[in-house]
């Protein structure tokens, strides 16, 4: 979201409204934002840590929402609603279901 400070509050209010509607529709799983005041770090299998994220990846900023939806078409509709509320494009990803989780 690249918004003027004067627009940020209104965009947040509208975005939270979309999340409320997703809850009411029974499709909401969770949502949140990246805490950009805390830098990322990598954790290796042996527990060692390295400051920073993956060196090949662009920095991850912003937030995300996870919905459980019956189709990709439904996901596009909800993503478009969030994009309109946030006034920026949304990246749509699909989680693979793991029956053990």
Domain coordinates in residue numbering, the chain: 1-32+63-95
Q: Which phi-psi region, left, alpha or beta, contains residue 48 (left: φ > 0; alpha: ψ -120 to 50)? A: beta
pLDDT of residue 1: 67
pLDDT of residue 48: 97
Task: Note whether 85 and 17 are within 8 A (CB).
Answer: yes
- Hey, what are 19's tokens? 């999340």
pLDDT of residue 4: 84
pLDDT of residue 60: 82
Written as tens digits, the pLDDT of the chain (101 aa) is 678 888 888 998 999 999 999 999 999 999 998 898 999 999 999 999 999 999 999 888 888 999 999 999 999 999 999 999 999 899 999 988 888 98
């Amino acid at each position: 979201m690249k918004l003027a400070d004067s627009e940020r509050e209104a965009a947040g209010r509208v975005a939270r409204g979309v999340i409320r509607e997703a809850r009411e529709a029974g499709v909401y799983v969770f949502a949140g934002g990246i805490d950009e005041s805390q830098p990322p770090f990598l954790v290796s299998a042996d527990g060692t840590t390295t400051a920073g994220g993956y060196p090949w990846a662009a920095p991850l900023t912003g937030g995300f929402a996870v919905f459980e939806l019956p189709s990709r078409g439904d996901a596009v509709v909800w993503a478009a609603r969030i994009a309109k509320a946030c006034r920026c494009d949304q990246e749509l990803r699909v989680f693979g279901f793991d029956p053990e989780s």
